[in-house]
Amino acid sequence: MNQTTYNHLKELIEDSGLTRSKTTHLKPIQIIDFSNETILITGAAGSIGSELAKQLLACKYKKLILIDIAESPLYNVIKAFENENLTNVSFLLINIKEEDELKHLFETHKPTIVFHAAAYKHVPLMEVHPYEAVKTNIIATKSLADLAIKHEVKKFIFISTDKAVNPISVMGMSKRIAENQLLQLAKTSNTLFSIARFGNIIGSNGSVLPIFIKQIESGLPLTLTSPTVTRYFIGKHKACSLILQLATFNKMESHVFTFNMGKPIKLKDLADCLIDFYPNETVEIKITGLRLGEKNEESMIANDEFLVPTRNDAIFLVKEKLENKYNNLDLTNLINITPYISPQEIKNTLLTYI
């Protein structure tokens, strides 16, 4: 690992706020004027959703609606924000898989901008529970998008993942299908659909960094899937500030966007750098092998895609070489799946859409 990589990793680890280091390199939150907007965030108790909400509290907005199905995490967000100057903020316990709940939500609160961050994201778990991935990541996303169109939402920003690129996992496939579905819906609607596709959020819930830290502080070896496995990483603060920037793009065309993630990072380098934060600890590294659905390395764009610069040098437009690729994406086979179908059969159905 060269010094540049080490310094970059050190900054990412410090900015995560998870270590004993008090150093921070976070830039001030950029104030954006959403004065006329009623903003809905799904998955508001998650890493991305809660950070989006935190940054929006510093902005001007008409109303902020924060929804999640996870009761305790949503309560934690409420407690975390209780000392903020909260004006016109609603915290709602809502399951996005329940269409009647979503209909009532849109009819009651009339959002004008939607940040859709709710999703199942853990790759090995979704390999075992593909029914849940389909119903949450694909079908619920379509329900939200349909309601957004019906209620004339101006902008719908969908949080995707690099695992949707050349996907081999259920999670990656479900997010790629959701991307394609939104792009298809956009062709006949006035709602602007923007898709934010990026890599791993350093320090997010359930991600590798907090797991490594817990293992070190518990005196356990670091479990590393492979010494050669690489991932793209971005700080939560930076990712969410760029997501908010997407909501200011005015060109009325729906697109996939990705962020300047830098070079992919070896998890072995991340582990070695983190160990330096604990000079008094003796830390071993245990190689466990790739888990179900995992790749050794990820990509930000597929072979049939290319990047185009935008007005923001940290944001790129992802363009397809083949236009109108998804004109007839019919989700009927996925809508009709049941929990009684085997995981492999469901995955085989997903493969027909890729």
List residues with catalytic annotation: 163
d(CA 239, CA 201): 8
Q: Which amino acid is at 317?
A: L
d(CA 317, CA 319): 6
Question: C-alpha distances in angstroms, 189 versus 142, 146, 196, 345?
Answer: 13, 10, 19, 33
Q: At what angle do helices 267-275 and 3-16 cross, to 10 degrees?
A: 70
Percent helix, strand, coil in the chain (nearest 5)?
40, 20, 40
Task: Give Cβ neighbours of residue 228 (< 8 Å, ≥ 6 apart).
Answer: 266, 268, 296
d(CA 196, CA 257): 5
Helices (H), 220-293: 236-246, 267-275
d(CA 316, CA 319): 9
Phi-psi sector, 166: left (phi>0), alpha (psi -120 to 50), beta: left
Let me know: does 91 contact 78? Beta carbons within 8 Å.
Answer: yes
- The residue whose two tokens read 């080490």 is 6
